[in-house]
Structure 1
Amino acid sequence: AHIGKWHLGGGRDIGNAPWPTAYGFDHSFTTFEGLGPRVLVSDEERFLAEQSDELGEGPRFWELKTNLTGLYANMAVDFVAQHSDKPWFVNLWLNDMHDPWAPDNESLSDVMGKGNSSDDDRMLASLVKMDKALGRLFDRLDQMGEMDNTLVIVTSDNGPSSAQRHYKGGKVAPGSTENLRGRKWSLYEGGIRQPLILYWRGHTKAGHRDERTVGQGVDLLPTIARIVGAKRPAGIDGIDLSPVIGGRAIANRPDLYWAYGKEGAPKEPPQPAMERDQAPPFAIREGDWKLLAEAGGANPQLFDLASDPTEATDVAAGQPAIRDRLLGKLKAWMAKLTPSRC
């Protein structure tokens, strides 16, 4: 089942997108920018929900944003209860940490004044609220006897918000990147380096923290396939990260690539408000080396993440051999991308 945010068509991006069930899910329930059965947010960013409502394409109802995670968690429990006699998978995509934040009063009172601004307080309160909701979900699954054989994966998609409105009056944008350069909409580490939390009772090493393994979203499918004993689909990207569950770091992996937007696209994607966080739209990582470049491979930047994780010092000029090798790989990969259609 897929339950929660979808954002793969069905709103301001693509109006006639396939439902999540077209991608292999037996059951789906989503929100705006997703079609099929869905909930529409009645308060925050209502204009997006109204766009979704006009598309039709499935039953829908309205609800306050602050109530969505509880709704999704209850649906997840119901789905598991109905399928507990066989293996099940739930893709639970929450939207609490995406601004505008909508915490409840209890969570807001827990953190009031602990942030750097009122926006920061609301973000922190939303995190507290989400954490409590996940705790209740896991407790319920435990009561059902499901947690003894369930792998829980918690991760995210990008760095904290970097919209211009958060910097008004000299304020600091909510959320921390721990001094990493970049935020949301950036290919610097602060925009793409995310937590990956794995829990599997009797298998994961409690309290273990892996600072060596480099994983990416493309690794989740081959990892899950290996764990459940399914055949790895042919031609997919990614590696099996299952050794990490047992506390064994993965030292080497194939190169990683990123593209934020497309060459020749009629519309440029959003950029962080602060110039320091604005990164070139294409990148490659080979071991600890990371190279970023503009369209066509122009203006390459090279960083050694082992010694410079904050990407403060561009060493492209001083490491021409490494720069040219990575740039050649990146340009070859960029040439394989589907061209933009105006």
Structure 2
Amino acid sequence: MLLKRFLLLLVFVGGITLTSCQQSNTKQSVKKPNIVFIMTDDHTIQAMSAYGSKLVKTPGLDRIAKEGMLFNNCFVTNAVCGPSRATILTGKYSHLNGLTDNSKVFDSTQVIYPQLLKKAGYQTAMIGKWHLGSTPMGFDYYSILPNQGQYYQPEFFENGKVVKEKGYVTDVITDKAIGFLEKRDHDKPFMMIYQHKAPHRNWLPAPRHLGMFDNTVFPEPDNLLDDFKNRGKAAKEQLMNISTDMWEAWDLKLLSSAQLDSMGKLPIETIFKDAKGDDYKQANDPTLDKARFYEVYNRMTDAEKVKWKKVYDKRVAEYRKLNPKGADLVRWKYQQYMRDYLACVVSVDENVNRLMDYLEKIGELDNTIIVYTSDQGFFLGEHGYFDKRFMYDESFRTPLLVRYPKSIKAGSVSNAFAMNLDFAPTFLDYAGVKIPDDMQGVSLRPLLDNAGKAPETWRKAVYYHYYEYPSWHMVKRHYGIRTERYKLIHFYNDVDEWELYDMQKDPKEMNNLYNNKTYQPVVKELKEQLVKLQKQYKDTNPTEAVTN
């Protein structure tokens, strides 16, 4: 009898244990994924080897593509820093979220996806470049760069306090990201926005990367010396030409150590007497060139300055010796631009890989949705341009890599149209949080879960609207539509110009076909589609005056 009771007790206890294990396994299987959203500033697909770049190798970023999905056609709603960030947070176009250009302040009272994730039990963090003018809301922890931030010895606004750090900004941001992960509540899933300043203008490399490309000659884009034939005022009258609009000190670092040292002997108020005030009124004023550059140079430590002078004194000497003119000058400037810009990209690549290594070390890598993107693309000499803003693909298209092995097939590629408008709905979808009805994007999960293949109902066109004029680089206001085959752009405000490009025959957008009789049926059809998209996204008065 005692033996029988003992055996029954074992069965009972075993049943409890088995049930407990089943419940634990069930709980584990439905564990919400962590989310790490990585965004750089002005990093374009032309500078990523995963996208076939011949300019630079990016093994850290390529790792995300190899172990996840690469999107070939991810586009932004408005190719400039703050507006892109506001769109990503809200899932809404600029005219609805209120941040049409960088001079405005983001309305922090509106709903953003991190707030919704926090309510759903996520621990949330915002680290790095914020650039929205307001204080981050909906985060358990934030440490953000003031405005554009600094490359060397950067300050951060951290949970209400100003914190000064030593070191290079890309490294420091990553240190802070790892610090958050170390100290987080391990019982909660986490959502971390990890955003870099690099490789934003004026492209200051980490001390360890100074001069790393000095012996490299980079291939030039075919249209580096574009003459803008068959295009209008908008394409020609901007102020972002490598030939004429790069500042010698700020952009090209053409100040010798002797010049910098002599500036250092002047009273600070003398150096900066004209360099303060309204950033937007002074945006395109090259007379501020040397003062602005000295301000960032003066942030370096003595050891960093020694390395800097060793590299850039050679550049100054070469420039003076060659004294290039015309096309030769453009080509020379392009090479210097690439040397600095791509060295900044290398630091990003190293640090993204460092963060992924840390996630792997703590056992969270495969349970974390890792997204890599940029706030928009960037011109690397195409059309002779630097910067962004235009609806041309180099600027309009942004990189997008997503890794999450529980859902995404390694090495998959999607050619479907994605947008930065879609990021917020995607994160909420994976987290099991209801997507607000007023978000205008759609979840990318159908693509991610299906090896990149789009359902029949997926969007066939994307809509764009840029507002920041007159301002930095003087790119005129415009809106437009892009389909798989064509792109139609309308420049407005102080001009009334249309451009049409056949992206299949002319992917570099050199031949405006708007007035070509053969393409008039295409123009008519695209204008009809454009109006439909404007109604869909509630941008029904697109040329309404918008003041800065």
Following the alignment from structure 1 to structure 2, what is the Cα–Cα distance between the partners of residues 109 and 341? 42
Residue identity opposite 1:71 in structure 2: V
Asked whether the 8 Å contact 2:130–2:144 carries over to 1, the reply is yes
Partner of 2:397: 193
Three-state SS of the structure 1 residue aligned to 2:481 is: strand
The 10-residue stretch of structure 1 (184-193 or 70-79) with the greater mean CA deviation from structure 2: 70-79
The 10-residue stretch of structure 1 (192-201 or 299-308) with the greater mean CA deviation from structure 2: 299-308
1:313 corresponds to which of 488, 511, 518: 511
Partner of 1:223: 426
Partner of 2:164: 62
Following the alignment from structure 1 to structure 2, what is the Cα–Cα distance between the partners of residues 303 and 279? 18
Partner of 1:89: 191
Matched, 1:295 2:526: no
Q: CA deviation at 1:291?
A: 1.0
Residue identity opposite 1:322 in structure 2: V
The 10-residue stretch of structure 1 (149-158 or 97-106) with the greater mean CA deviation from structure 2: 97-106
Partner of 2:438: 235
Partner of 2:130: 6
Following the alignment from structure 1 to structure 2, what is the Cα–Cα distance between the partners of residues 223 and 337? 31
Matched, 1:335 2:538: no
Following the alignment from structure 2 to structure 1, what is the Cα–Cα distance between the partners of residues 438 and 459? 16
Residue identity opposite 2:485 in structure 1: D
Partner of 1:136: 354
Three-state SS of the structure 2 residue aligned to 1:20 is: coil
| Distance change (3 Å), C-alpha of 1:233 and 1:154 | same
Residue identity opposite 1:5 in structure 2: K
* Cα deviations by residue, 1:217-273 (Å, 9 ceiling, x for unpaired): 0011112222222111112112221233341332631642222116xxxx513337x
| Distance change (3 Å), C-alpha of 1:118 and 1:287 | closer
Matched, 1:271 2:477: no
| Distance change (3 Å), C-alpha of 1:234 and 1:151 | same
Asked whether the 8 Å contact 1:291–1:300 carries over to 2, the reply is yes
Partner of 1:281: 478
Asked whether the 8 Å contact 2:412–2:452 carries over to 1, the reply is no
Following the alignment from structure 1 to structure 2, what is the Cα–Cα distance between the partners of residues 6 and 338? 28
2:364 corresponds to which of 143, 146, 150: 146
Matched, 1:121 2:339: yes
Residue identity opposite 2:209 in structure 1: S
Following the alignment from structure 1 to structure 2, what is the Cα–Cα distance between the partners of residues 291 and 198? 29
| Distance change (3 Å), C-alpha of 1:144 and 1:338 | farther
Instruction: Report the count of equivalent residues.
Output: 295
Q: CA deviation at 1:100?
A: 1.7
Matched, 1:72 2:156: no
Asked whether the 8 Å contact 1:181–1:189 carries over to 2, the reply is no
Three-state SS of the structure 2 residue aligned to 1:293 is: strand
Following the alignment from structure 2 to structure 1, what is the Cα–Cα distance between the partners of residues 492 and 412? 40
| Distance change (3 Å), C-alpha of 1:183 and 1:67 | closer
Following the alignment from structure 2 to structure 1, what is the Cα–Cα distance between the partners of residues 187 and 462? 39
Residue identity opposite 2:174 in structure 1: A
TM-score w.r.t. the length of structure 2 is 0.48
Residue identity opposite 1:189 in structure 2: D
Partner of 1:171: none
Following the alignment from structure 1 to structure 2, what is the Cα–Cα distance between the partners of residues 291 and 259? 12
Q: Which has the higher contact order (CA 8 A, sep 6+)?
A: 2
Following the alignment from structure 2 to structure 1, what is the Cα–Cα distance between the partners of residues 194 and 186? 17
Residue identity opposite 1:92 in structure 2: Y
Seq. identity, % = 24
Larger radius of gyration: 2
Q: CA deviation at 1:142?
A: 1.0
Matched, 1:19 2:135: yes
- The runs of 4+ residues in structure 1 deviating greater than 6 Å are 179-182
Q: CA deviation at 1:322?
A: 3.3
Following the alignment from structure 2 to structure 1, what is the Cα–Cα distance between the partners of residues 399 and 377? 10
Residue identity opposite 1:223 in structure 2: T
When you count helix as a share of all residues, which structure comes out higher? 2
TM-score w.r.t. the length of structure 1 is 0.74
Asked whether the 8 Å contact 2:478–2:492 carries over to 1, the reply is yes
Asked whether the 8 Å contact 2:422–2:441 carries over to 1, the reply is yes
Asked whether the 8 Å contact 1:180–1:311 carries over to 2, the reply is no
Asked whether the 8 Å contact 2:417–2:462 carries over to 1, the reply is no
Following the alignment from structure 1 to structure 2, what is the Cα–Cα distance between the partners of residues 337 and 200? 41
Partner of 1:259: 465
| Distance change (3 Å), C-alpha of 1:160 and 1:287 | closer
Following the alignment from structure 2 to structure 1, what is the Cα–Cα distance between the partners of residues 151 and 172? 14
Matched, 1:322 2:438: no
Q: CA deviation at 1:108?
A: 3.3
Asked whether the 8 Å contact 2:464–2:479 carries over to 1, the reply is yes
| Distance change (3 Å), C-alpha of 1:188 and 1:290 | same
Three-state SS of the structure 1 residue aligned to 2:175 is: helix
Following the alignment from structure 1 to structure 2, what is the Cα–Cα distance between the partners of residues 156 and 341? 27
Asked whether the 8 Å contact 1:8–1:33 carries over to 2, the reply is yes
Following the alignment from structure 1 to structure 2, what is the Cα–Cα distance between the partners of residues 239 and 85? 30
* Cα deviations by residue, 1:88-133 (Å, 9 ceiling, x for unpaired): 1111110121122222243335433225423322222211121111
Following the alignment from structure 2 to structure 1, what is the Cα–Cα distance between the partners of residues 159 and 139? 17
Unaligned runs of 5+ in 2: 1-124, 219-334
Following the alignment from structure 2 to structure 1, what is the Cα–Cα distance between the partners of residues 210 and 413? 30
| Distance change (3 Å), C-alpha of 1:270 and 1:8 | same
Residue identity opposite 1:140 in structure 2: Y
| Distance change (3 Å), C-alpha of 1:95 and 1:5 | same
Asked whether the 8 Å contact 2:413–2:452 carries over to 1, the reply is no
Following the alignment from structure 2 to structure 1, what is the Cα–Cα distance between the partners of residues 443 and 384? 27
Following the alignment from structure 1 to structure 2, what is the Cα–Cα distance between the partners of residues 80 and 124? 29
| Distance change (3 Å), C-alpha of 1:319 and 1:159 | same
Asked whether the 8 Å contact 1:181–1:188 carries over to 2, the reply is no
